[in-house]
Amino acid sequence: MVTECAYGQLKGRWQILMRKCESLPDEVKMLTLACMMLHNICISKGDLLPRTLDITIDPNTNQRRESSEIRDILHMMNPSRPRDYEKKATNIRDLLANKFWLEKQAINEEDT
């Protein structure tokens, strides 16, 4: 649910993520990472996401949407076996975290 909300906020702020993308996988990766970084910069500078752009909030009721509704908006599949997806998602998160950590260490070593 946290990931869905985070990606929902990204799609709300950066409307390009709402479009069908026919770019190469590396280009999609760079675009998504750029949106994530810009989103974090906006938050750190106090530029919060307007409620009208936050797809996790229903504009008609001002209430938080159910995860199934967010999945529909984001065109995500509803997992039939959540446990399998949880394990895969955890593995992907851990691999990405490790990769980013190693890249950060390499940059720090280059600077010293």
pTM attached to this predicted model? 0.41
Rounded Cα gap, residues 59 and 56, in angstroms: 9
Does residue 99 fall inside a structural domain? Answer: no
Structure confidence at residue 84 as a pLDDT band (50, 70, 90):
low
Q: Which of residues 99 and 54 earns the better pLDDT score?
A: 99
Taking each helix axis as running N to C, give the angle between helix 25-44 and helix 2-13, from 0 to 180 degrees, rounded to the nearest 10: 90
Q: Tokens in use for 1?
A: 């649910």
Does residue 95 fall inside a structural domain? Answer: no
Does residue 68 fall inside a structural domain? Answer: no
Does residue 7 fall inside a structural domain? Answer: yes
Query: Taking 80 as the threshold, does the pLDDT of residue 7 lie above it?
Result: no
Does residue 65 fall inside a structural domain? Answer: no
* DSSP sequence for 38-94: HHHHHHHTT-PPPTTT-TTB-TTT-SBPPHHHHHHHTT----S-HHHHHHHHHHHHH
Query: Taking 80 as the threshold, does the pLDDT of residue 24 lie above it?
Result: yes
Closest to 54 in 3D by CA, of 67, 40, 42, 64: 64
Query: Taking 70 as the threshold, does the pLDDT of residue 70 lie above it?
Result: yes
Domain count, the chain: 1
Domain residues for the domain of 6 are 1-48
- The tens digit of pLDDT for each residue in 11-23 reads 777 777 777 777 7
Query: Taking 80 as the threshold, does the pLDDT of residue 97 lie above it?
Result: yes
Does residue 105 fall inside a structural domain? Answer: no
In the chain, the percentage of residues whose pLDDT exceeds 70 is 80
Query: Taking 80 as the threshold, does the pLDDT of residue 36 lie above it?
Result: yes
Does residue 58 fall inside a structural domain? Answer: no
- Of 29-33, 34-38, 45-49, 90-94, where does mean pLDDT reach its minimum? 45-49
